[in-house]
Structure 1
Amino acid sequence: MNAPEIQVEVAPGLALFVPHARRVGVHPLGVDGVSTLGHVIESLGVPLTEVGALVVDGREVPPGHIPAHGESVAVRPVRRPQRVPGAPLRFLLDVHLGTLARRLRLLGVDTAYESTDIGDPALAARSAAEKRVLLSRDRGLLRRRELWAGAYVYSTSPDDQLHDVLDRFAPALRPWTRCTACNGLLKEATKDEVADQLKGGTQKSYDVFAQCAECGRAYWKGAHHEQLEAIVARALAEFA
Protein backbone atom coordinates (compact mmCIF):
# COMPACT_ATOMS: atom_id res chain seq x y z
CA MET A 1 0.00 0.00 0.00
CA ASN A 2 1.32 3.42 -0.95
CA ALA A 3 2.02 5.92 1.84
CA PRO A 4 -0.71 8.56 2.25
CA GLU A 5 -0.05 11.88 0.60
CA ILE A 6 -1.69 15.19 -0.11
CA GLN A 7 -1.35 17.64 -2.98
CA VAL A 8 0.01 21.04 -1.95
CA GLU A 9 0.15 24.34 -3.82
CA VAL A 10 1.97 27.26 -2.19
CA ALA A 11 1.00 30.80 -3.20
CA PRO A 12 3.68 32.69 -5.20
CA GLY A 13 4.17 35.19 -2.36
CA LEU A 14 5.25 32.37 -0.07
CA ALA A 15 7.42 30.55 -2.59
CA LEU A 16 10.68 31.84 -1.12
CA PHE A 17 10.11 29.68 1.96
CA VAL A 18 9.92 26.32 0.18
CA PRO A 19 12.47 24.30 -1.82
CA HIS A 20 12.89 25.37 -5.46
CA ALA A 21 11.24 22.22 -6.75
CA ARG A 22 7.98 23.12 -4.94
CA ARG A 23 7.78 26.82 -5.77
CA VAL A 24 5.49 26.53 -8.80
CA GLY A 25 2.47 24.32 -9.24
CA VAL A 26 0.99 21.46 -7.23
CA HIS A 27 3.24 18.88 -5.60
CA PRO A 28 2.65 15.69 -3.58
CA LEU A 29 3.61 15.62 0.09
CA GLY A 30 3.55 12.64 2.39
CA VAL A 31 1.47 12.78 5.58
CA ASP A 32 1.29 10.46 8.58
CA GLY A 33 -2.35 10.80 9.63
CA VAL A 34 -1.32 12.31 12.97
CA SER A 35 0.50 15.59 12.32
CA THR A 36 -1.62 18.73 11.89
CA LEU A 37 -1.74 20.58 8.61
CA GLY A 38 -0.06 23.53 10.32
CA HIS A 39 2.87 21.33 11.31
CA VAL A 40 3.06 19.87 7.80
CA ILE A 41 3.17 23.30 6.19
CA GLU A 42 5.81 24.51 8.65
CA SER A 43 7.87 21.43 7.83
CA LEU A 44 8.00 22.74 4.27
CA GLY A 45 9.58 25.94 5.59
CA VAL A 46 6.57 28.28 5.64
CA PRO A 47 6.05 30.03 9.02
CA LEU A 48 2.37 30.04 9.97
CA THR A 49 2.69 33.78 10.69
CA GLU A 50 2.79 34.19 6.88
CA VAL A 51 -0.21 31.98 6.13
CA GLY A 52 -3.52 33.74 5.71
CA ALA A 53 -5.59 30.66 4.91
CA LEU A 54 -5.25 26.91 4.46
CA VAL A 55 -7.80 25.74 1.91
CA VAL A 56 -8.51 22.00 1.66
CA ASP A 57 -10.60 20.83 -1.29
CA GLY A 58 -12.11 24.29 -1.59
CA ARG A 59 -12.90 24.92 2.09
CA GLU A 60 -10.84 26.84 4.62
CA VAL A 61 -9.60 24.78 7.57
CA PRO A 62 -7.70 25.66 10.78
CA PRO A 63 -4.01 24.77 11.21
CA GLY A 64 -5.10 21.97 13.56
CA HIS A 65 -6.78 20.07 10.71
CA ILE A 66 -5.37 16.53 10.24
CA PRO A 67 -4.79 16.08 6.50
CA ALA A 68 -6.10 12.89 4.93
CA HIS A 69 -4.84 10.99 1.90
CA GLY A 70 -5.83 12.58 -1.39
CA GLU A 71 -6.69 16.04 -0.09
CA SER A 72 -5.68 19.09 -2.12
CA VAL A 73 -4.26 21.96 -0.07
CA ALA A 74 -3.78 25.58 -1.13
CA VAL A 75 -1.54 27.70 1.11
CA ARG A 76 -2.51 31.35 0.83
CA PRO A 77 -0.69 34.45 2.17
CA VAL A 78 -2.10 36.86 4.75
CA ARG A 79 -4.57 39.43 3.51
CA ARG A 80 -3.47 43.05 3.67
CA PRO A 81 -3.96 45.09 5.70
CA GLN A 82 -3.62 42.38 8.33
CA ARG A 83 -5.71 42.88 11.45
CA VAL A 84 -4.25 41.69 14.76
CA PRO A 85 -7.10 41.33 17.29
CA GLY A 86 -6.77 41.31 21.04
CA ALA A 87 -4.52 44.30 21.81
CA PRO A 88 -3.47 47.70 20.48
CA LEU A 89 -1.19 47.21 17.48
CA ARG A 90 2.42 47.41 18.61
CA PHE A 91 5.64 45.69 17.66
CA LEU A 92 8.72 43.95 19.02
CA LEU A 93 11.80 43.74 16.78
CA ASP A 94 14.77 41.42 17.13
CA VAL A 95 18.41 42.49 17.35
CA HIS A 96 18.93 42.61 13.57
CA LEU A 97 16.25 45.25 12.86
CA GLY A 98 17.55 48.33 14.65
CA THR A 99 17.15 50.72 11.70
CA LEU A 100 13.58 49.59 11.11
CA ALA A 101 12.83 50.06 14.81
CA ARG A 102 14.09 53.65 14.77
CA ARG A 103 12.07 54.46 11.65
CA LEU A 104 8.86 53.03 13.08
CA ARG A 105 9.41 55.06 16.25
CA LEU A 106 10.08 58.14 14.12
CA LEU A 107 6.58 57.63 12.71
CA GLY A 108 5.10 57.32 16.19
CA VAL A 109 4.53 53.55 16.06
CA ASP A 110 4.91 51.76 19.42
CA THR A 111 8.02 49.67 18.76
CA ALA A 112 10.04 47.74 21.32
CA TYR A 113 13.52 46.65 20.25
CA GLU A 114 16.21 44.47 21.79
CA SER A 115 19.63 45.90 20.94
CA THR A 116 21.31 42.79 22.35
CA ASP A 117 20.58 39.17 21.53
CA ILE A 118 18.45 37.98 24.44
CA GLY A 119 17.63 34.66 22.75
CA ASP A 120 14.58 33.32 20.95
CA PRO A 121 12.72 32.06 24.06
CA ALA A 122 12.96 35.46 25.75
CA LEU A 123 11.82 37.32 22.63
CA ALA A 124 8.84 35.03 22.15
CA ALA A 125 7.96 35.33 25.85
CA ARG A 126 8.07 39.12 25.67
CA SER A 127 5.86 39.09 22.58
CA ALA A 128 3.30 37.06 24.52
CA ALA A 129 3.58 39.03 27.78
CA GLU A 130 3.22 42.43 26.12
CA LYS A 131 1.00 41.28 23.21
CA ARG A 132 3.38 42.64 20.60
CA VAL A 133 3.76 41.50 16.99
CA LEU A 134 7.29 40.12 16.70
CA LEU A 135 9.05 41.18 13.48
CA SER A 136 12.01 39.07 12.44
CA ARG A 137 13.88 37.50 9.54
CA ASP A 138 14.46 34.38 11.64
CA ARG A 139 12.01 31.70 10.50
CA GLY A 140 12.78 29.49 13.47
CA LEU A 141 11.90 32.28 15.89
CA LEU A 142 8.57 32.82 14.14
CA ARG A 143 7.71 29.14 14.63
CA ARG A 144 7.91 29.25 18.42
CA ARG A 145 4.61 28.20 19.96
CA GLU A 146 4.67 30.76 22.80
CA LEU A 147 4.75 33.63 20.31
CA TRP A 148 1.68 35.88 20.54
CA ALA A 149 1.85 37.13 16.94
CA GLY A 150 4.61 37.56 14.41
CA ALA A 151 5.57 38.51 10.88
CA TYR A 152 8.51 37.79 8.63
CA VAL A 153 10.51 40.79 7.37
CA TYR A 154 11.08 39.99 3.72
CA SER A 155 13.75 42.51 2.74
CA THR A 156 17.19 43.50 4.02
CA SER A 157 16.69 47.11 2.86
CA PRO A 158 15.39 49.44 5.62
CA ASP A 159 13.33 51.40 3.08
CA ASP A 160 11.65 48.24 1.81
CA GLN A 161 11.24 46.85 5.32
CA LEU A 162 9.41 49.97 6.47
CA HIS A 163 7.18 49.99 3.40
CA ASP A 164 6.30 46.32 3.89
CA VAL A 165 5.39 46.70 7.57
CA LEU A 166 3.25 49.80 6.93
CA ASP A 167 1.54 48.11 3.97
CA ARG A 168 0.90 44.88 5.87
CA PHE A 169 -0.35 46.25 9.20
CA ALA A 170 -1.46 49.84 8.43
CA PRO A 171 -0.52 51.19 11.89
CA ALA A 172 -1.66 54.67 12.90
CA LEU A 173 1.13 57.16 12.17
CA ARG A 174 1.95 59.94 14.64
CA PRO A 175 5.35 61.29 13.54
CA TRP A 176 7.71 62.97 16.00
CA THR A 177 5.90 61.66 19.09
CA ARG A 178 8.25 58.85 20.18
CA CYS A 179 11.87 58.66 21.23
CA THR A 180 13.85 56.83 18.55
CA ALA A 181 16.27 55.64 21.24
CA CYS A 182 13.91 54.07 23.81
CA ASN A 183 10.35 54.28 22.39
CA GLY A 184 9.18 56.66 25.14
CA LEU A 185 6.75 59.45 24.41
CA LEU A 186 8.10 62.93 23.62
CA LYS A 187 7.01 66.14 25.30
CA GLU A 188 7.81 69.78 24.61
CA ALA A 189 10.85 71.07 26.48
CA THR A 190 12.50 74.42 27.05
CA LYS A 191 16.13 75.07 26.27
CA ASP A 192 16.87 75.30 29.96
CA GLU A 193 15.37 71.85 30.59
CA VAL A 194 17.73 70.18 28.10
CA ALA A 195 20.71 72.53 28.43
CA ASP A 196 22.97 69.82 29.84
CA GLN A 197 22.66 67.92 26.51
CA LEU A 198 23.42 70.87 24.23
CA LYS A 199 26.77 71.89 22.83
CA GLY A 200 27.66 75.50 22.14
CA GLY A 201 26.51 75.62 18.52
CA THR A 202 23.20 73.99 19.31
CA GLN A 203 22.64 76.36 22.23
CA LYS A 204 22.91 79.32 19.86
CA SER A 205 21.16 77.92 16.78
CA TYR A 206 18.01 76.22 18.10
CA ASP A 207 15.12 77.25 20.31
CA VAL A 208 12.53 74.48 19.87
CA PHE A 209 13.12 71.21 21.70
CA ALA A 210 11.40 68.01 22.75
CA GLN A 211 12.40 65.57 25.45
CA CYS A 212 11.68 61.90 26.06
CA ALA A 213 9.54 61.37 29.12
CA GLU A 214 11.25 58.02 29.74
CA CYS A 215 14.99 58.41 29.12
CA GLY A 216 15.26 62.23 29.08
CA ARG A 217 16.92 62.43 25.67
CA ALA A 218 16.59 65.83 23.97
CA TYR A 219 15.47 66.36 20.35
CA TRP A 220 15.71 69.33 18.00
CA LYS A 221 15.79 69.96 14.24
CA GLY A 222 19.46 69.24 13.74
CA ALA A 223 21.70 68.28 10.84
CA HIS A 224 19.79 65.09 9.95
CA HIS A 225 16.32 66.62 10.12
CA GLU A 226 15.83 66.91 6.34
CA GLN A 227 16.65 63.23 5.87
CA LEU A 228 14.21 62.25 8.60
CA GLU A 229 11.54 64.59 7.21
CA ALA A 230 11.85 62.82 3.86
CA ILE A 231 11.20 59.43 5.50
CA VAL A 232 8.16 60.82 7.29
CA ALA A 233 6.82 62.55 4.17
CA ARG A 234 7.04 59.38 2.07
CA ALA A 235 5.25 57.35 4.71
CA LEU A 236 2.48 59.92 5.19
CA ALA A 237 1.97 60.34 1.44
CA GLU A 238 1.36 56.62 0.96
CA PHE A 239 -0.07 55.33 4.24
CA ALA A 240 -1.67 58.16 6.22
Structure 2
Amino acid sequence: MSPGHRTPGALVVHPDPALWFLLPRAHRRGRTTVAWDGDATLGHVVQSLGVPLTEVGALRLDGRPAAPQDRPAPGAALAILPVDRPQEVPGATGFLLDVGLGTLARRLRVLGIDAAYRNDAADAELVREGAARHRILLTQDRGLLMRRALWAGAHVRGDRPDDQLADVLDRFAPRLAPCTRCTACNGELAPVAADEVAGELEAGTRRSYAEFARCRSCGRVYWHGAHGKGLERIVEAARAVVARRHP
Protein backbone atom coordinates (compact mmCIF):
# COMPACT_ATOMS: atom_id res chain seq x y z
CA MET A 1 0.00 0.00 0.00
CA SER A 2 1.43 3.42 -0.95
CA PRO A 3 1.95 5.98 1.86
CA GLY A 4 -0.68 8.30 0.38
CA HIS A 5 -3.40 5.66 -0.03
CA ARG A 6 -6.41 5.85 2.24
CA THR A 7 -8.89 3.12 2.98
CA PRO A 8 -12.35 3.64 1.46
CA GLY A 9 -15.19 3.92 3.91
CA ALA A 10 -17.94 6.31 4.88
CA LEU A 11 -18.33 9.78 6.34
CA VAL A 12 -20.99 10.97 8.74
CA VAL A 13 -22.21 14.31 7.37
CA HIS A 14 -24.13 16.93 9.34
CA PRO A 15 -25.47 19.52 6.86
CA ASP A 16 -26.86 22.70 8.36
CA PRO A 17 -30.64 22.98 7.83
CA ALA A 18 -30.08 26.18 5.81
CA LEU A 19 -28.44 24.01 3.14
CA TRP A 20 -30.98 21.19 3.04
CA PHE A 21 -32.77 22.63 0.00
CA LEU A 22 -29.65 21.89 -2.06
CA LEU A 23 -29.41 18.25 -0.98
CA PRO A 24 -31.10 15.16 -2.43
CA ARG A 25 -34.19 14.32 -0.37
CA ALA A 26 -32.51 11.26 1.11
CA HIS A 27 -29.90 13.50 2.78
CA ARG A 28 -32.21 16.25 4.03
CA ARG A 29 -31.79 15.58 7.71
CA GLY A 30 -29.49 16.51 10.54
CA ARG A 31 -27.22 13.51 10.02
CA THR A 32 -26.56 11.37 6.98
CA THR A 33 -23.90 8.88 5.89
CA VAL A 34 -22.16 9.09 2.53
CA ALA A 35 -19.67 6.77 0.86
CA TRP A 36 -16.08 7.95 0.66
CA ASP A 37 -13.61 6.50 -1.87
CA GLY A 38 -10.52 7.00 0.28
CA ASP A 39 -9.02 9.84 -1.78
CA ALA A 40 -11.72 12.48 -2.25
CA THR A 41 -11.26 15.84 -0.56
CA LEU A 42 -13.88 17.39 1.67
CA GLY A 43 -14.70 19.85 -1.10
CA HIS A 44 -15.42 16.98 -3.47
CA VAL A 45 -17.62 15.28 -0.88
CA VAL A 46 -19.63 18.46 -0.32
CA GLN A 47 -20.14 19.15 -4.02
CA SER A 48 -21.05 15.52 -4.70
CA LEU A 49 -24.04 16.15 -2.44
CA GLY A 50 -25.10 19.04 -4.66
CA VAL A 51 -23.80 21.88 -2.49
CA PRO A 52 -21.51 24.34 -4.30
CA LEU A 53 -18.64 25.57 -2.15
CA THR A 54 -19.89 29.12 -2.76
CA GLU A 55 -22.71 28.26 -0.33
CA VAL A 56 -20.41 26.89 2.39
CA GLY A 57 -19.25 29.21 5.13
CA ALA A 58 -17.21 26.69 7.11
CA LEU A 59 -16.39 22.99 7.36
CA ARG A 60 -15.71 21.18 10.61
CA LEU A 61 -14.18 17.74 10.75
CA ASP A 62 -14.71 15.96 14.06
CA GLY A 63 -15.41 19.36 15.59
CA ARG A 64 -12.26 21.07 14.29
CA PRO A 65 -12.03 23.66 11.48
CA ALA A 66 -11.24 22.06 8.13
CA ALA A 67 -10.54 23.20 4.57
CA PRO A 68 -12.08 21.95 1.30
CA GLN A 69 -8.74 20.43 0.24
CA ASP A 70 -8.44 18.31 3.41
CA ARG A 71 -8.90 14.54 3.25
CA PRO A 72 -10.70 12.88 6.15
CA ALA A 73 -10.28 9.51 7.79
CA PRO A 74 -12.99 6.87 7.39
CA GLY A 75 -15.84 7.36 9.85
CA ALA A 76 -15.06 11.02 10.46
CA ALA A 77 -17.92 13.45 11.12
CA LEU A 78 -18.20 16.39 8.72
CA ALA A 79 -20.31 19.44 9.57
CA ILE A 80 -21.25 21.72 6.65
CA LEU A 81 -22.15 25.26 7.69
CA PRO A 82 -23.74 27.94 5.50
CA VAL A 83 -22.24 31.29 4.53
CA ASP A 84 -22.65 33.95 7.19
CA ARG A 85 -25.00 36.77 6.28
CA PRO A 86 -24.31 39.48 5.37
CA GLN A 87 -21.44 38.07 3.35
CA GLU A 88 -18.47 40.25 2.49
CA VAL A 89 -16.54 39.50 -0.70
CA PRO A 90 -13.30 41.53 -0.62
CA GLY A 91 -12.43 43.05 -3.97
CA ALA A 92 -15.86 42.53 -5.55
CA THR A 93 -16.81 45.28 -7.99
CA GLY A 94 -20.45 44.28 -8.49
CA PHE A 95 -22.65 41.44 -9.66
CA LEU A 96 -22.88 39.43 -12.87
CA LEU A 97 -26.16 37.62 -13.51
CA ASP A 98 -26.89 34.40 -15.34
CA VAL A 99 -29.18 34.50 -18.38
CA GLY A 100 -32.22 33.34 -16.41
CA LEU A 101 -32.15 36.29 -14.02
CA GLY A 102 -32.94 39.24 -16.27
CA THR A 103 -35.76 40.58 -14.11
CA LEU A 104 -33.55 40.40 -11.02
CA ALA A 105 -30.84 42.31 -12.89
CA ARG A 106 -33.26 45.12 -13.71
CA ARG A 107 -34.46 45.33 -10.12
CA LEU A 108 -30.92 45.51 -8.79
CA ARG A 109 -30.25 48.35 -11.22
CA VAL A 110 -33.38 50.18 -10.03
CA LEU A 111 -31.71 50.15 -6.61
CA GLY A 112 -28.48 51.55 -8.02
CA ILE A 113 -26.60 48.25 -7.64
CA ASP A 114 -24.00 47.39 -10.27
CA ALA A 115 -25.53 44.37 -12.04
CA ALA A 116 -24.03 43.26 -15.35
CA TYR A 117 -26.29 41.10 -17.51
CA ARG A 118 -26.88 40.02 -21.06
CA ASN A 119 -29.25 37.32 -22.26
CA ASP A 120 -26.88 35.54 -24.65
CA ALA A 121 -23.86 34.84 -22.43
CA ALA A 122 -22.63 31.24 -22.35
CA ASP A 123 -21.57 29.66 -19.07
CA ALA A 124 -17.86 29.80 -19.90
CA GLU A 125 -18.17 33.49 -20.79
CA LEU A 126 -19.85 34.26 -17.49
CA VAL A 127 -17.11 32.54 -15.52
CA ARG A 128 -14.37 34.34 -17.47
CA GLU A 129 -16.03 37.75 -17.16
CA GLY A 130 -16.67 37.29 -13.45
CA ALA A 131 -13.01 36.45 -12.85
CA ALA A 132 -11.67 39.20 -15.11
CA ARG A 133 -13.86 41.92 -13.61
CA HIS A 134 -14.10 40.59 -10.04
CA ARG A 135 -17.87 40.30 -10.14
CA ILE A 136 -19.97 37.96 -8.02
CA LEU A 137 -21.83 35.58 -10.32
CA LEU A 138 -25.50 35.19 -9.37
CA THR A 139 -27.18 32.08 -10.73
CA GLN A 140 -29.52 29.21 -9.96
CA ASP A 141 -27.31 26.79 -11.88
CA ARG A 142 -25.38 24.79 -9.29
CA GLY A 143 -23.12 23.27 -11.95
CA LEU A 144 -21.99 26.76 -12.92
CA LEU A 145 -21.11 27.54 -9.31
CA MET A 146 -18.94 24.42 -9.16
CA ARG A 147 -16.62 25.47 -12.00
CA ARG A 148 -13.02 25.73 -10.88
CA ALA A 149 -12.37 29.01 -12.68
CA LEU A 150 -15.20 30.79 -10.85
CA TRP A 151 -13.95 33.84 -8.91
CA ALA A 152 -16.98 34.30 -6.65
CA GLY A 153 -20.61 33.30 -6.88
CA ALA A 154 -23.88 32.73 -5.11
CA HIS A 155 -26.92 30.55 -5.57
CA VAL A 156 -30.02 32.78 -5.78
CA ARG A 157 -32.95 31.40 -3.83
CA GLY A 158 -36.57 31.79 -4.87
CA ASP A 159 -38.69 31.44 -7.99
CA ARG A 160 -40.28 34.90 -7.90
CA PRO A 161 -38.25 38.06 -8.65
CA ASP A 162 -39.36 39.57 -5.31
CA ASP A 163 -37.98 36.57 -3.43
CA GLN A 164 -34.78 36.50 -5.48
CA LEU A 165 -34.14 40.18 -4.83
CA ALA A 166 -34.78 39.76 -1.11
CA ASP A 167 -32.33 36.84 -0.99
CA VAL A 168 -29.51 38.77 -2.70
CA LEU A 169 -30.07 41.82 -0.50
CA ASP A 170 -30.20 39.70 2.64
CA ARG A 171 -27.02 37.83 1.71
CA PHE A 172 -24.84 40.75 0.61
CA ALA A 173 -26.55 43.87 2.07
CA PRO A 174 -25.20 46.09 -0.74
CA ARG A 175 -25.33 49.86 -0.59
CA LEU A 176 -28.52 51.16 -2.16
CA ALA A 177 -28.60 54.21 -4.45
CA PRO A 178 -32.02 54.13 -6.14
CA CYS A 179 -32.49 55.68 -9.57
CA THR A 180 -28.78 56.11 -10.30
CA ARG A 181 -28.36 53.32 -12.88
CA CYS A 182 -29.81 52.59 -16.28
CA THR A 183 -32.14 49.60 -16.09
CA ALA A 184 -31.41 48.82 -19.74
CA CYS A 185 -27.60 48.76 -19.81
CA ASN A 186 -26.40 49.21 -16.20
CA GLY A 187 -24.73 52.53 -17.00
CA GLU A 188 -24.65 55.39 -14.51
CA LEU A 189 -27.27 58.14 -14.72
CA ALA A 190 -26.46 61.84 -14.66
CA PRO A 191 -28.88 64.76 -14.21
CA VAL A 192 -29.74 66.57 -17.43
CA ALA A 193 -31.58 69.85 -18.07
CA ALA A 194 -35.13 69.53 -19.37
CA ASP A 195 -34.39 71.68 -22.43
CA GLU A 196 -31.55 69.37 -23.43
CA VAL A 197 -33.87 66.37 -23.75
CA ALA A 198 -37.07 68.13 -24.79
CA GLY A 199 -36.74 66.90 -28.37
CA GLU A 200 -36.65 63.28 -27.19
CA LEU A 201 -39.82 63.47 -25.11
CA GLU A 202 -43.52 63.36 -25.85
CA ALA A 203 -45.45 66.58 -25.22
CA GLY A 204 -47.26 65.15 -22.20
CA THR A 205 -43.99 64.15 -20.57
CA ARG A 206 -42.49 67.59 -21.15
CA ARG A 207 -45.49 69.23 -19.49
CA SER A 208 -45.70 66.86 -16.54
CA TYR A 209 -42.08 66.48 -15.42
CA ALA A 210 -39.21 68.84 -14.76
CA GLU A 211 -36.37 66.57 -13.58
CA PHE A 212 -34.60 64.20 -15.93
CA ALA A 213 -31.48 62.04 -16.08
CA ARG A 214 -29.55 60.51 -18.94
CA CYS A 215 -27.54 57.30 -19.02
CA ARG A 216 -23.85 58.07 -19.52
CA SER A 217 -23.45 54.85 -21.53
CA CYS A 218 -26.46 54.42 -23.82
CA GLY A 219 -28.04 57.87 -23.69
CA ARG A 220 -31.46 56.71 -22.52
CA VAL A 221 -33.50 59.42 -20.75
CA TYR A 222 -35.23 58.80 -17.40
CA TRP A 223 -37.84 60.61 -15.33
CA HIS A 224 -40.08 59.74 -12.39
CA GLY A 225 -43.02 58.61 -14.49
CA ALA A 226 -45.97 56.27 -14.47
CA HIS A 227 -44.00 53.42 -12.94
CA GLY A 228 -43.05 55.54 -9.93
CA LYS A 229 -45.30 53.81 -7.39
CA GLY A 230 -44.17 50.35 -8.45
CA LEU A 231 -40.53 51.36 -8.20
CA GLU A 232 -41.10 52.96 -4.81
CA ARG A 233 -42.52 49.66 -3.56
CA ILE A 234 -39.37 47.84 -4.68
CA VAL A 235 -37.12 50.46 -3.09
CA GLU A 236 -38.95 50.48 0.26
CA ALA A 237 -38.97 46.68 0.45
CA ALA A 238 -35.25 46.62 -0.38
CA ARG A 239 -34.43 49.16 2.32
CA ALA A 240 -36.28 47.08 4.89
CA VAL A 241 -34.28 43.94 3.99
CA VAL A 242 -30.92 45.73 4.07
CA ALA A 243 -31.81 47.48 7.35
CA ARG A 244 -32.18 44.09 9.01
CA ARG A 245 -28.54 43.37 8.17
CA HIS A 246 -27.29 46.86 9.02
CA PRO A 247 -29.54 48.04 11.87
TM-score category, normalised to shorter length: over 0.9
Aligned length: 237
Secondary structure at the aligned position of 2:196 is classed as coil
Q: Which stretch of structure 1 is more off in the superposition, 62-71 or 228-237?
A: 228-237
Aligned to 1:233: 236
Q: Which runs of 5+ in 2 are unaligned?
A: 1-6
Alignment counterpart, residue 101 of structure 2, candidates 97, 104, 109? 97
Distance between the aligned counterparts of 1:227 and 1:18, measured in 2?
A: 36
For the Cα contact (< 8 Å) 2:18–2:82, is it kept in 1? Answer: yes
For the Cα contact (< 8 Å) 1:109–1:174, is it kept in 2? Answer: yes
Alignment-mate amino acid for residue 13 of structure 1: A
Cα deviation, residue 230, structure 1: 1.5
TM-score by length of 2: 0.92
Aligned to 2:25: 20
Q: Deviations over 1:31-74 (max 9, x none)?
A: 12222110111011111111111110001111111122111001
TM-score by length of 1: 0.94
Q: Which stretch of structure 1 is more off in the superposition, 128-137 or 60-69?
A: 60-69
Aligned to 1:192: 195
Distance between the aligned counterparts of 2:142 and 2:241, measured in 1?
A: 29
For the Cα contact (< 8 Å) 1:31–1:68, is it kept in 2? Answer: no
Say what the alpha-carbon RMSD is for the aligned residues: 1.4
Percentage identity across aligned positions?
56
Cα deviation, residue 229, structure 1: 1.2
Aligned to 2:79: 74
Alignment-mate amino acid for residue 91 of structure 1: F
Q: Which runs of 5+ in 1 are unaligned?
A: none
Q: Is 2:67 aligned against 1:62?
A: yes
Distance between the aligned counterparts of 1:36 and 1:100, measured in 2?
A: 35
For the Cα contact (< 8 Å) 2:12–2:31, is it kept in 1? Answer: yes
Q: Is 2:139 aligned against 1:136?
A: yes
Alignment-mate amino acid for residue 85 of structure 1: P
Secondary structure at the aligned position of 2:99 is classed as coil
Q: Is 2:38 aligned against 1:30?
A: no
Cα 1:3–1:145 shift into 2, 3 Å: closer
Aligned to 2:46: 41
Instruction: Extract structure 1 runs of 4+ deviating beyond 4 A.
Output: none
